[in-house]
């Protein structure tokens, strides 16, 4: 097996990876979307066996994260070793469970300390099964530059970051990185947010869903996700994916009510920063 870094701006190499990942679009959305649109700076690696691609890995400095799509446990482990050796910081590892488990084991073997249970459920929604949902008395609109800090603070809820510390420029960059971002207002106050990194080919992923704790269990996240799905449907989306923790009962009910189905497992491995 041979692992090489490819230049994502080199057209023939980029097209080869897109052709390889396209049949697995839902399982490789971030990799595929980024190869399509270059919406994030990335270092991309490819694994080949007998001159056939068996895996792709991306490291994204903005998110300090590594994403893997792999047919081979050996490739998954090799990607982990290369990323850990070459890049810093690497504080998150994401991908379909079976593809990422070997890489996760390499992270732990290298001394990286996990800070969360990585196993999540992977939800998919085909548009023909979508059940739209709306609420009266609320306003849903695109996020503006003036909303960045409010959105960043709400999204801290996802990562269990303290709400009191000043918003960092790194957090602002992550909010701005989203291709589609919407907020829900009640009486002029932003109480919920949802974002997406955009359409890959026919599918997109919902990210960054967060609701102010004082406004939870009122259907706001469901209405916001529904609005985002309808927005992306007009852009040609045929499928939506999202992942969430097994313990997040409210989120799971929200997605199932919209027509999503649990189809697989997903890993979001977060690690203590290296001092």
Beta carbons of 148 and 176 less than 8 angstroms apart: yes
Domain ranges in the chain with CATH number 3.40.630.30:
127-266
d(CA 154, CA 185): 13
User: Quick check: 57 pLDDT over 90?
Assistant: yes
Share of the chain above pLDDT 70, in %: 98
Q: Mean pLDDT over residues 29-49, rounded? A: 88
> What is the pLDDT of the chain when averaged over all its residues?
93
| pLDDT per position as a tens digit, 175-230 | 988 889 999 999 999 999 999 988 999 999 999 899 999 999 999 999 999 999 99
The pLDDT value recorded for residue 164 is: 78
The pLDDT value recorded for residue 267 is: 96
**C-alpha torsion 224→30→238→193, nearest 10:** 0
DSSP labels, 215-269: G-SSSHHHHHHHHHHHHHHHTT--EEEEEEETT-HHHHHHHHHTT-EEEEEEEEE
The pLDDT value recorded for residue 160 is: 63
User: Quick check: 115 pLDDT over 80?
Assistant: yes
d(CA 207, CA 241): 9
User: Quick check: 275 pLDDT over 80?
Assistant: no
The pLDDT value recorded for residue 88 is: 93
The architecture (CATH level 2) of 127-266 comes to 3-Layer(aba) Sandwich (3.40)
If we measure between CA atoms, which residue out of 196, 197, 209 comes closest to residue 154?
209
User: Quick check: 17 pLDDT over 80?
Assistant: yes
The pLDDT value recorded for residue 69 is: 98
CATH number (3.40.630, 3.30.519, 3.30.1370, 3.40.50) of 2-112 reads: 3.40.630
The pLDDT value recorded for residue 165 is: 84
User: Quick check: 9 pLDDT over 80?
Assistant: no
Residue 153 CB-density burial (10 A; 0-12 exposed, 13-18 middle, 19+ buried) = buried
User: Quick check: 270 pLDDT over 70?
Assistant: yes
| pLDDT per position as a tens digit, 73-94 | 999 999 999 999 999 999 999 9
d(CA 247, CA 259): 19
Share of the chain above pLDDT 90, in %: 80
| pLDDT per position as a tens digit, 120-165 | 999 999 999 999 999 999 999 999 999 999 999 999 888 666 777 8
pLDDT band (50, 70, 90) for residue 38? confident
The pLDDT value recorded for residue 37 is: 78
If we measure between CA atoms, which residue out of 1, 85, 97, 99 comes closest to residue 43?
85
Q: Mean pLDDT over residues 27-56, rounded? A: 90
């Amino acid at each position: 097996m041979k692992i090489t870094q490819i230049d994502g701006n080199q057209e023939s190499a980029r097209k080869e990876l897109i052709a390889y990942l396209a049949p697995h679009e839902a399982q490789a959305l971030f990799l595929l979307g980024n190869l399509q649109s270059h919406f994030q700076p990335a270092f991309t690696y490819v694994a080949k066996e007998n001159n056939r691609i068996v895996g792709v890995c991306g490291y994204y400095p903005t998110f300090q994260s590594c994403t893997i799509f792999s047919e081979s446990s050996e490739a998954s482990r090799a990607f982990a070793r290369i990323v850990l050796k070459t890049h810093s910081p690497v504080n998150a590892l994401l991908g379909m469970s079976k593809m990422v488990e070997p890489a996760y084991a390499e992270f732990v073997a290298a001394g990286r300390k996990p800070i969360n249970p990585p196993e999540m459920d992977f939800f998919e929604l085909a548009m023909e099964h979508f059940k739209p949902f709306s609420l009266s008395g609320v306003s849903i609109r695109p996020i503006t530059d003036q909303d960045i800090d409010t959105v960043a603070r709400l999204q801290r809820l996802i990562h269990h970051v303290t709400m009191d510390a000043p918003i960092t420029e790194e957090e602002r960059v992550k909010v701005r990185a989203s291709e589609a971002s919407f907020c829900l207002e009640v009486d002029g106050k932003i109480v919920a947010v949802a974002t997406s990194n955009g359409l890959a080919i026919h599918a997109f992923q919902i990210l960054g869903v967060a609701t102010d704790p004082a406004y939870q269990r009122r259907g706001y996240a469901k209405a916001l996700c529904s609005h985002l799905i309808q927005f992306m449907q007009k852009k040609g989306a045929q499928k939506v994916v999202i992942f969430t923790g097994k313990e997040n009962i409210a989120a799971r009910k929200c997605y199932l009510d919209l027509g999503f189905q649990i189809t697989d497992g997903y890993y979001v491995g977060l690690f203590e920063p290296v001092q």
